[in-house]
Structures are given as C-alpha cells and as structure tokens.
A and B are shown apart, each in its own frame.
Chain A
Amino acid sequence: MNARRITSSLLRHLAVAVACACALATFGTDAAPLAATLAAPPADAPPSPVKDPHYGDALFHFYQPHYFTALTTLMASQQLGRVAQHADEAEVLRGGLLLSYGMHVEAGQLFTQLIDKGAPPSVRDRAWYFLAKIRYQRGLPAEALAALARIEGSLPAELDDDRHLLHANLLMGGGDYAAAAAVLGTVAKKQPESRAWFMSDRKSRDANEAKAAAGQYARFNLGVALIKTGDLTGGTAMLDELGRAPAAFEEARSLRDRANVALGFAALQANKPEQARTYLERVRLNGAQSNKALLGFGWAAASMKNARLALVPWTELAGRDASDAAVLEARIALPYAYAELGAQAQSLAGYNGAIGDFERENAGLDESIQSIRSGKLMNALLARNPGEGAGEEMGWFWTLRALPEMPHAGHLAQVLAKNEFQEAFKNFRDLRFMTGNLQQWADNLGVFSDMLDARRKAYTERLPQVLARARETGMAAAGERSAAITKEVAEAEQAGDGVALADAKQRDLIERLNGLRAAQAQPTPDPEVAAMSERMRRVAGALTWQLAQEFPAKVWEAKKALGSIDTQLAQAKAHEAALAQAQVDEPARFERFAKRIAELKPRLQALMPRVTALSGEQQQAAQGIAVAELASQKNRLAVYTTQARFAVAQLVDRAVTAPAQTAPQAQAHAQAHAQAQTQAHAQAQTQAQEADRARKP
C-alpha cells in the first residue's frame, strides 16, 4: 500500500469532513427562519399585547404559516396607516418575510433604513443582526462582522446565542479558529434552555428537542474548531463526549453519528484503525451515516491487515441501495477483500458483478438525466411536495421531503439534498405560486372592473329618481311655511292673550261668544237677551282665564315644535347638499377607481410573462444542477468501473502467470486482459466528455 498517497487522501477527506462539520454550525443561523422568531415571541412565551388589530391580523397569518398573505396584508395595512402603533415591529416582520423569499437586497435596504431613522435600541440591534446575516449570506464577512460589532446588547437572550453562532461561523470562515472556539465555548457552556428559538424555526420540532439539539450543534462545532486550531486532544474529547452522549431524539442521534464518523475517519488518518473501529461501531446501523461508517469500519479492518474482518461490514454494505456512493464503493471493496484472502474466483466474480451493477446503474442514471431534461422531475417534485399550510404558500419551513415518482428515483436523493438545488427549486416553486396568484388577480381585476361599471350604471339610473324625489319634497316651500309659522308664534307670544294658541274647542267657544256679542249689540225688545249678557261675561271671563293659564305651556310647545321643524329642515338641507356633493364626488370616485384599475392592469399584464419566463429559466437552472449532480455520479461510476476492470485484468494476469496454466487458458486470459484494459481506457476517455455534456442544460 502506498502509505503516503493514502495519507494524502485521508487528509483530503479530513479537510472535507471538517469543512462539513463547520457547515453544521450554520444549522441555527439560517436567517429566514430566525426572522420568524425575531419578529415574534417563541411559542411558549406569552404573546405581547397587540395595539393595532391589523398588525395582529398579519401575525395571525404569519403564525400559521401563511407568509405570503401575512406579508401582503401587512403591507396593505401599512399603506392604509393601520399599524402605526407597531411601525418598527411591522418593518422588522416585513424584512424577515422578505428575507424568507430570498429578497436580500430589499430586506437589507429596509433594515438599513430602520437603523438610519433611529429606531429604539431593541429594534436597532435586531436590524444590525439581520444585516449581519444578510451580509454573511452574500459573502461579505468583514461587513457582517462590523454589523455584529454594532449590536449594543439589546438582543433577547435566545437571539444572543445565535449571534454567537454567527460570529463563530464568521471567525471560522476567516480562519480564526481560536477565536471561534472561544466564542463557541460561551454558547456550548450554556444549557440549551435558553435557546428556544431553535424550536420555532423547525415547525414540527418539539421545543425541548430543539433546545438540546442547539447545544449539541454548538459542542460539535466547537470540537471541530478545536481540531482545526491544532488542539486535537481537546477537539477529540469534545467530539468523543458528543459521540457517547445519550440521544433522545432523531436529530441528536444523527449528530452523534456524525461526530463518531468524523472521529473514526480522523483516527484512520492518524493510522489508528483500532480506535477508528471503536468510534465507528457506535454509529447506528440504519442511520443516515451508517453507510459511511460501514465503509470506514471495513477499511479500518483492512488497515489492520485483517481482510476477513472487513468482509462483514462490506458484505452488509454492498447489499444496500446502490444510489449511495459508499455502497458502490463497497461493491469493489468486497472483491478486493476476497482477493486479499486469496479467494481469486470469488474476487473475479465480485468484480464482474460490480461491473454489471455499475453499468446498470449508469443506464439508470442516463434515464434519470433524460427524465430531468424533459421537465418531469420538477413537475413531479411539485406534485409530491406541496407547500405547508392550507394555502400552500411559499414558506420558510418548506423543504423537499418526498422523492418524486420516477424511475430510478433513488438517484435523486443526493440531488435533493443539495442546498443549491433546494434553493433553486424554492425559487421555482415561488414563481409558480406567483403565476397562480397573478392569474387570480387578473380574474379579480376583471370582476372589479365589472363591479365598477355596474355601480356607475346604477348611479346613473338612480340619480334622476333621487333628484326627482328631492324636488318633490319642496324644500323651499317648507322653508317658507316654517318661517310663517315662526312669525305667527312670535306674534302670539307678543300678543300674550293666548287667543292665537287656542285649541279648536277654545276657538269654537270664542267664535260663539263673538256671535252672541254681535247679537246682543242689536237693539231687541227680548228680555232674555239682556239676561244672557251676565252669563256671557262669566263665560268670556272663564275662557280668558283658561287661555292665560295655558299660554306659557302652549308657547313652549309651539317653540319646541318649531325647533324640531328647524332641525328636520336642516337635515333635509344637509341631505340635499350631500346629494349635490355626491353628484360631484361619485363620478370622480368612480374615475379614481377606474384609473387605479387601469394602472394596475398593465402592471399585472407585464408581470405575468416575466414571472413565466423566469419560472422557465429557473426550471432550466434547477434541472442543470440536478443533471450535473447525476453526471458526477456517472463519473464516479466510471471511476469505479475502470478500477474494477483493472482489478479484473490484474486477476487475469495472476492467473496467466500461474505455472499450471495451459496454452489455451493463457490465450483466453490474455484476451480478457486486453479487453478489460481497452474498456477501461475507453471508459476513461468518455468520462471527461460526459462530464462536459452533462453540465450543459
């Protein structure tokens, strides 16, 4: 064995492992989910009082999570001035929601504005934090560090931990592992109770699990950082502690497996195969890391010159699903072990079987690539992975979980695991969602237009009738009559005798008295007339008394009635004025709405083809990523096939050089050898060509 080359390979592996481990630190620092937590309290925290109901309405959608509705209704409420009491919080929420759609530029501008306008320290700190996130994601580490340095300490405790993780990531990215280890140390020492935000960025995760997972991720990253700084003992101890820790839930178990795999391969690098086996045998047999662990477990045995021991894990691994690179590797590692044990025939059969498997796998990959290029992958993924929430809106928690129903779907597991593909697919899904959204608005806008026309028509038809009714009411005549009555009441009040306010009975009595008085005035010899004058005097007196008695009350009632008439007249006049104003305002209002609809329509129509075109472009880009990944799998297969063919040739060579070989056997072996070499050479030549072809969309 060429130890130097193997060491080089091991070192390369370790570098990858460590890089991957560093990447783990980003588990909790994904900006978009965090935005949710920044904008809202954790699930187990009591809600803060809402001062504007429409802000609460946006939160109601946000928590479900219907982010698109939350964002658009929030922005509509902002435009209508209905969230003034939560102006800053609304902006933070909006910025977080924009971030969730990958709109870093606009979100960055928003947070910068929040800072510039002198928001309160708590808002300012969150804005700085977000800006640091955005800058980090956009590859501006120095600017991100500067933003972190501006945080004054008003971040909530749970967010402060995340700030430390981000800080550590930035330091590790800059190669300052010692500082990163120091920063992570402060987080790792903390118990996970203070890290509730981890729960809220994974919808389905239980809060306690998230708290524990956060601490473990921090410890894992610290271990890796320590190893990178050269503190192998400290780093290994940290990872070993994690690798032996009890894990109550899947994420912790998965992380423990990763720690043990990293430790195992680090031990292999250090040429400590026994120790490597100790670490690797802690890995679960059916976890996501099990294939890698089985492979390493076998190679550890091989390093111990114990090929028989290596057969056990490799035999198990070789029988697993061939879509995993470790399994493919095992299919040639297994005949290698047989060859080491001197079982040439089994070895040759194993290599030939592996070559057949690789060729079938290669054909399957070709089919998958063809299928991807035809667009089936993206549509099948959309069908199998609807968005979360009833509205199937775009969302932060959305991830590809289910493989599409396609031939050789197993190949796609690694494609889907790539964040680059996930992000591309999210964009594609967002654009498809927006296509539907715009189409819905196009229909609605037509309805609005029809509605406006109907209102205009109704207004035009009803207006003459209303005006006619208004004319019939005779406002002018009513006013004159009111004035006349007012004058009469004033005269009656001035007269003060109550005659003008007499009721019908009293007026009748007055008239009779007047008639009697007139009759009495005529000269008559009738003695009875003369006798009546005394009775008339008494009746007239009584009537005068009665009128005088009732006069104040009647004046008050008359004035009250007059007041009521005035009020009603004023209301009628106001209605008349409103009607006149409406004749001016309503057409103008209709015009304004029509103008707005006319302005929005071209915007809508211009956006629809843009979204469709970008959707197609994004689909091509995502398909390109998937094809490139499958092409790399094909390349890997080509390498394995080449190695298997060389191994077959070597075995044939050994058989040829064997002393008991007959001439025909030697000729057959020579032919097989030559064929194997030719095929291997051809395979190697096509490898580069296929790689180039595959990268083209």
Chain B
Amino acid sequence: MFKHNALTSLFFAVAMSMHVAHAADAAAVAPAAPASTPATAVAIAPPAAPSTAASAPAAPLASLDTRIQDVKGDVIRLNRDLLVLEEELLFPANTQVALFVSMDVGKMFSLDSVQIKLDDKPVTNYLYTPAEVSALHRGGVQRVFVGNLKSGEHTIVAFFTGGGPHERDYKRGTTIKFDKGVEPKYIELQIKDSMAKLQPEFDVKVWQ
C-alpha cells in the first residue's frame, strides 16, 4: 500500500517536473482557441428594436486575446498616424532634409561617432552603441538627422571617428554640396571598405 502510494506520487512528481521543464516549449505551440466574435460586435444593437435587443441574450464577449489583439492593432495604427502627422507638421516635404548613415562591410572601420555640420552649423554629434553598430553592419540605415532647409545650395561636412586598420584611431571627413529644391532631400553617408587601399572609404549618396 505504502509503496504504491509513494510510487504513484513519484510518477506524479516526475510527470509534473517534466511537464514544467518543457512547458515553455510545449505551450508555445499549443493550439490557441479559435477567435471568437470581434469585440466590436458586442456593442452593436439594432436601434429600432431596443426591447428585443434587451431581452435577447447578450453577445458573447470576445476573448481577452482577441480584444488585446484589436487594441494593439489600434494603438499601432494610431502611432503610425501620429508619426505621419508629426513629420508633416515639423518637417514639411518642401523643406525637409534627412541625413542617413549606412555601413557596408565595415571591417576596415569600427564606427564610434559621427559629427555632422550643415552649412557650418553642427546638427548632430552621435555616439554609437554596439547594438547600433551591429544594426548598421546588418544592413540598417540610420536616419541620423532630419530638419528643414530653404531652397538653394547647401553644404554638409561629416566627420566619422572610430578605429581604423591596425586598431588605430581614425577620423575622416567628407563634404558634399547639394541643391535643395521643393522636394524632400535624402542624403546617405556611406561607410565602405576599400580593399584596394586597405582602408575605409566615406561616400555620399543623394537619393533625391
């Protein structure tokens, strides 16, 4: 009798502990409950027949997961609209200029910071975190500055600092003159490796 009890509880315990050990993986693929009625359906009742609506059984409330999905979607879309509003309000298309930084392979240069002057006025002095450098290496393009400029000719001077070949400190500058029209201007500062010269190159690409 006792042995039976002990062993039963043993397997119970082992089963439980095994289950716990794997639960995170198991539940990750556990079939989710099918989506129930959307939340919006709950509030809708025919206005012409309030008594009928009142007497009818209430529509089942959508599952918590469904309602959370809905609200997340609404929040994300609201964020999108607010971002668009913010940009159009602060940086109208006809005066907007955006500066981007990208990195090609980047083996010849370990980026630490970038300083940018626009028409001799410092507009950004950016220090990079390892995560940001990694994001640039993987193909990300950083919008490092966005601002407004009048139509006409302007000059950008950018300085990149970091570690160059043979782990030596490296600082390079690049200059570009461009005409700003009535369209937004996107300028990309590119850091590339020159295998021929065995040193980094800094290039500028004007998108539009």
Contact = CB atoms under 8 A, between A and B. Distances in A.
A479 interface: no
A62 B134 CA distance: 11
B8 interface: yes
Contact of A60 (B9, B17, B79, B135): B135
B72 A57 contact: no
Given A64-B132, A444-B86, A448-B86, A104 B2 contact: no
Given A53-B207, A80-B84, A13 B15 contact: yes
A53 B141 contact: yes
Contacts of A139: 31-34
Contacts of B88: 593
Interface in A611-653: 611, 614, 617-618, 621, 632, 636, 639-640, 643, 646-647, 650
A600 B16 contact: no
Interface stretch (B51-59, B61-69, B161-169, B194-202): B61-69
A29 B98 CA distance: 39
B96 to A, nearest CB: 11
A5 B19 CA distance: 21
Contacts of A19: 26
Given A60-B142, A103-B69, A419 B10 contact: no
Interface in A410-469: 414, 417-420, 422-423, 427, 430-431, 434, 437-438, 441, 444-445, 448, 451-452
B153 interface: no
B22 A24 contact: yes
B121 interface: no
Given A23-B22, A24-B25, A643 B82 contact: no
A29 B29 contact: yes
B30 to A, nearest CB: 7
A310 to B, nearest CB: 11
Nearest to B73: A106
Interface stretch (A227-235, A289-297, A378-386): A289-297
Contact of B139 (A50, A68, A646, A650): A50
How many B residues touch the partner, as a band? Answer: 35 or more
B100 interface: yes
B141 A101 contact: no
How many A residues touch the partner, as a band? Answer: 35 or more
B76 interface: yes
Contacts of B74: 603, 607, 610
Among all A-B residue pairs, the 10 with the closest Cβ atoms: A56-B141, A139-B31, A47-B139, A419-B27, A60-B140, A23-B26, A20-B22, A63-B135, A9-B11, A329-B13
25 contacts: A12-B15, A26-B26, A57-B142, A59-B140, A59-B141, A68-B76, A72-B83, A76-B80, A137-B31, A169-B29, A291-B17, A299-B7, A329-B14, A336-B6, A389-B131, A427-B68, A437-B75, A437-B79, A441-B79, A445-B82, A448-B85, A596-B81, A603-B78, A614-B64, A650-B1
